[in-house]
Structure 1
Amino acid sequence: MGEPRLIDRHRAVLPSWLALFYDDPIEIVHGHGRRVTDSNGRTYLDFFAGILTNAIGYDVAEVSDAVRKQLDTGILHTSTLYLIRSQVELAEQIARLSGIPDAKVFFTNSGTEANETALMLATQYRRSNQVLALRNSYHGRAFATVGITGNRGWSASALSPVKVSYVHGGYRYRSPFAAMSDADYIKACTDDLRDVLQTGTSGDVACMIAEPIQGVGGFSSPPDGLFGSFAEVLAESGILFISDEVQTGWGRTGADFWGIQAHGMTPDMMTFAKGLGNGLAIGGVVARGEIMDSLGANSISTFGGNPVSTVGARAVLDYLLDHDLQANAATLGARLLDGLRAVAERHPVVGDVRGKGLMVGVELVEPGGMTPSPAAAVTVLEETRERGLLVGKGGLHNNVIRLAPPMTLTADELDEALGILGEAIAVANGDKR
């Protein structure tokens, strides 16, 4: 009797709710540039980047060298009870880039932990446990972040340490205001915000938290300016605004370094993670100093901001800036959107193509209407993999293909991916294979 398959061992000891892509899941064992290789020797062009985490690709010498140099010191960890030079230097850099006045930074290990920290800071600063969030949102898998997740598929419990009220705005394609102009859509959603404040809260709300582009929600986003309009309403009552930049930060949206900048406002706090570490576990919060310092108890982070992750993150951030990957995301992202919209014109299984920069969603529907088609999304997922391309899948109805390649993507690789996506979508549309 042979060695048990890895998938069988996985199912025996890991939770049943730990999702795996593909009918025959793959094990990725090697990567270089924008390509990864599985344990069977098959190589793929990666257009999901570890859920937007491998922001600059694989096997990047500048990052590997920085981490290796830190490892050579023998110090992998000291904790925040001691000074960590790379932590301070990275915090200084992020504070400058944030645009937040008198900014301070706290490092965590993930986006979930970053959002938990931001919620704790906001509720402490405002002395309120009331939070505003968007419908179709996702902010993490911990207790408070599940409590503010407006997507039933990712909300395991109704129990929560915060009282949440949900507003319209993030998912335009299926919004009751979808047919409106940008200006009218913004007005309708802002009016809804005012109504929720007056009817669903006691008035002393701590904060609103929002993703500039909803990640798990299917890369959906409102018109530019919506959150600026929201911020004006919030400011009337001193309500804080938290921008969840876990997926939209570091220039991925192309036009802006932070997703929230498209809305003409500066948030009180931003949370970040994923792409900053390019695979290293790091997240954090950058906030106005008085908010960051409002915590009325002792606190540390055992692993947050450790020497290895912060040395690596500094190398990633320097690489992003030195190679102007934001501009590359803008240029290639526009080509990706144009190419996919041309595919959509030929195939009615595509209901919507949306996104910014190298963060693009393709929503699949039953041809002839808007009925979500999760089956079509599964078909595209499997057909792209068969052709050597890895993509993501998500959305409220699990019918959205999510595309977020490393920001070092080349034009030739983009054309290769567009060709594969066109073929896979044609199969989902019912065309001959």
Structure 2
Amino acid sequence: MTTNALHARHTAVMPSWLTTYYERPLALVQAAGRHVTDQDGNRYLDFFGGILTTSAGYDVAEIRERVQRQLATGVVHTSTLYLIESQVALAERIADLAGIEDPAVFFTNSGTEANETALLAATCHRGSGHVVALTDSYHGRSFGAIGISGLEGWRPSPLSPVRLTWAGNGRRGEPAALVADLRSRLAADDEPVAALIAEPVQGLAGFFAPPPGLLRGYQEVVADQGGLLISDEVQTGWGRLGSHLWGYEYQGLRPDLITFAKGLANGFPIGGVIGRRAVIDSLAGKSISTFGGNPLSTTAALATLDHLLDTDARGNAERIGRQLLDGLRRIAARHRCVGDVRGYGLLLAVEIAAGADDGAPAAGAAAARRILERCRELGLLVGVGGRHGNVLRIAPAMTVTGAEAAEALAILDRALADESRPSAPADRPLGVGAAMA
């Protein structure tokens, strides 16, 4: 089947809001290491990894073999109504790594569900539905998660099950003033705060880190009212930042709850919450998870975690991340379409101002999409995000090599050069994923 035929079938049965990257979407059929191949035989260096999910790369022997052994038992699913040894072992491992006193761990299927669970636990524990969230944040696609996500393009409904107070993420204003403003607004509010939820580095916002001290100040304000901190580590966890296993360490925070997903199982669906037992156990009544913590995903997660920790993937993320950031800064100095470059381990971003001298957000988004398409033509897959869809998101597997980083930099240099040329056509065909994760 051709890619065009598959795209036509996709369009016929999938929702219109289920967007894809590229004018001619990709269908990937084979992968190994940090490379993927589409059904037309084109091979790409993948520097986005299924939205930061294939953390160890593709077709890793140790992970594949352990999953195959579990498959061979015939036990792929049982539900949490039964004991699952791999689930318990993974929970024990994560509890040791979390840095939370007296932790309990609950597994879900995704980051969205993890954040929903954390919100449920925090609001039940506090007896309040009042939540503080950050501008430009993204916490998932469910009703509750959408309600606390600050990126307007990703909030299709104005309704929310929680009472919300917004706090600035630090793009504008000094941290001390922003903290003082939040304190003043909460002091005048009759409903106590249940929790502050924050990404240590905002993912869909274009890998933007709130400035030093801001989140710590917000946590102190919320804690003064007895509120909790939920650290959304769906994109920042497991050592992707290089210097720290968790993003909350990077920001100097003390979370009561940590949510995780994406890279833990190297592509198998898993998410979860780690929290103080007193908070997690505040949910009244009974509950189960049909698929969360299933034998296959937890086996894959244990194998992935072993691989990442035993191979010094965190150190590699630090080293290669520095190589990429230094290279991107050198490249940016040569190309007028680049407005900013930032990076934290293997979370790297190139903010596009515009294809020409027009700095309007729409022009920057259009330019970013052209660059995304050009990178694909040259054999590199990256992502796009940011408040206006004008940020290239670069997040290779944590096992990426220096040679692969150099190759990616050369492709990005060429793609940015093409966009920076005065003759770059403003009406060049665009992809359809302007604000995709």
TM-score, with length taken from structure 1 = 0.94
Q: Is the 8 A contact 1:351 1:370 kept in 2?
A: no
Question: Shift of residue 186 of structure 1?
Answer: 2.4
**1:182 corresponds to:** none
Question: Shift of residue 337 of structure 1?
Answer: 1.1
Cα 1:431–1:38 change in 2 (3 A) is farther
SS in 2 for 1:346: coil
Task: Read off the aligned partner of 1:125 and give its amino acid letter.
Answer: H
Q: Is the 8 A contact 2:193 2:222 kept in 1?
A: no
Question: Shift of residue 413 of structure 1?
Answer: 0.2
Question: Shift of residue 3 of structure 1?
Answer: 11
**2:433 corresponds to:** none
SS in 2 for 1:5: helix
After the TM superposition, which residues 364-379 of structure 1 pair with which residues of structure 2 at under 5 Å, given as runs?
364-366=352-354, 370-372=359-361, 373-379=364-370
Q: Is the 8 A contact 1:376 1:429 kept in 2?
A: no
Q: Is the 8 A contact 1:224 1:262 kept in 2?
A: no
* Aligned counterpart in structure 2 of residue 194 of structure 1, from 174, 183, 186: 183
CA distance in 2, matches of 1:192, 1:36: 48
CA distance in 1, matches of 2:168, 2:106: 30
| Residues 297-341 of structure 1 deviation map (CA, whole Å, 9 limit, x = unaligned) | 211000000000001100000101001111111111111111111
**1:213 corresponds to:** 201
Q: Does 1:421 align with 2:412?
A: yes
CA distance in 2, matches of 1:233, 1:206: 12
Task: Read off the aligned partner of 2:181 and give its amino acid letter.
Answer: D
CA distance in 2, matches of 1:78, 1:250: 27
Task: Read off the aligned partner of 2:115 and give its amino acid letter.
Answer: N
Moved more, 382-391 or 368-377: 368-377
**1:71 corresponds to:** 71
CA distance in 1, matches of 2:391, 2:40: 28
| Residues 148-183 of structure 1 deviation map (CA, whole Å, 9 limit, x = unaligned) | 01111000101111011110125x2xx2x2xxxxxx
**1:45 corresponds to:** 45
Q: Is the 8 A contact 1:130 1:205 kept in 2?
A: yes
Q: Does 1:350 align with 2:328?
A: no
Question: Shift of residue 355 of structure 1?
Answer: 2.4
**1:406 corresponds to:** 397
Task: Read off the aligned partner of 2:367 and give its amino acid letter.
Answer: A
CA distance in 2, matches of 1:8, 1:263: 45
Aligned-residue RMSD, C-alpha: 1.6
Segments of 5+ residues of structure 1 without an aligned counterpart are 178-184
Task: Read off the aligned partner of 1:363 and give its amino acid letter.
Answer: E
Question: Shift of residue 203 of structure 1?
Answer: 4.1
Task: Read off the aligned partner of 1:103 and give its amino acid letter.
Answer: P
Cα 1:309–1:4 change in 2 (3 A) is same
Question: Shift of residue 236 of structure 1?
Answer: 1.2
Cα 1:202–1:369 change in 2 (3 A) is farther
| Residues 173-213 of structure 1 deviation map (CA, whole Å, 9 limit, x = unaligned) | xx2x2xxxxxxx321221232133134x4241100100111
Give aligned-pair identity as a percent.
Answer: 54
Q: Is the 8 A contact 1:379 1:427 kept in 2?
A: no
SS in 2 for 1:195: helix
After the TM superposition, which residues 281-300 of structure 1 pair with which residues of structure 2 at under 5 Å, given as runs?
281-300=269-288
Task: Read off the aligned partner of 2:9 and give its amino acid letter.
Answer: R
Q: Does 1:269 align with 2:260?
A: no
Question: Shift of residue 352 of structure 1?
Answer: 1.0
| Residues 233-288 of structure 1 deviation map (CA, whole Å, 9 limit, x = unaligned) | 22211110000000000000111110110122220000000000111000000000
After the TM superposition, which residues 125-140 of structure 1 pair with which residues of structure 2 at under 5 Å, given as runs?
125-140=125-140
Question: Shift of residue 23 of structure 1?
Answer: 0.6
Q: Is the 8 A contact 1:384 1:424 kept in 2?
A: yes
CA distance in 2, matches of 1:279, 1:37: 17
CA distance in 2, matches of 1:315, 1:328: 18
CA distance in 1, matches of 2:58, 2:74: 24
Cα 1:414–1:290 change in 2 (3 A) is same
CA distance in 2, matches of 1:96, 1:334: 28
| Residues 343-393 of structure 1 deviation map (CA, whole Å, 9 limit, x = unaligned) | 111112111111200001111113557532111101110010000000001
CA distance in 2, matches of 1:203, 1:328: 46
* Aligned counterpart in structure 2 of residue 383 of structure 1, from 374, 379, 400: 374
SS in 1 for 2:333: helix
Moved more, 116-125 or 337-346: 337-346
**1:333 corresponds to:** 321
Question: Shift of residue 224 of structure 1?
Answer: 3.0
**1:98 corresponds to:** 98
CA distance in 1, matches of 2:4, 2:101: 56
CA distance in 1, matches of 2:63, 2:131: 38
Q: Is the 8 A contact 2:205 2:385 kept in 1?
A: yes
| Residues 42-96 of structure 1 deviation map (CA, whole Å, 9 limit, x = unaligned) | 1000000000000010000111111110111110011101111110110011111
Segments of 5+ residues of structure 2 without an aligned counterpart are 425-437
Question: Shift of residue 6 of structure 1?
Answer: 0.3
Task: Read off the aligned partner of 1:247 and give its amino acid letter.
Answer: Q
Task: Read off the aligned partner of 1:189 and give its amino acid letter.
Answer: L
Q: Is the 8 A contact 1:167 1:196 kept in 2?
A: no
Task: Read off the aligned partner of 1:290 and give its amino acid letter.
Answer: A
Q: Is the 8 A contact 1:130 1:206 kept in 2?
A: yes
**2:242 corresponds to:** 254
CA distance in 1, matches of 2:353, 2:310: 41
| Residues 135-154 of structure 1 deviation map (CA, whole Å, 9 limit, x = unaligned) | 00100000100000111100
CA distance in 2, matches of 1:186, 1:215: 20
Question: Shift of residue 228 of structure 1?
Answer: 1.9
Q: Does 1:110 align with 2:141?
A: no
Cα 1:148–1:290 change in 2 (3 A) is same
Total equivalences in the alignment: 421
**2:302 corresponds to:** 314
**2:290 corresponds to:** 302
CA distance in 2, matches of 1:109, 1:116: 11
**1:143 corresponds to:** 143
**1:241 corresponds to:** 229
CA distance in 1, matches of 2:264, 2:56: 9
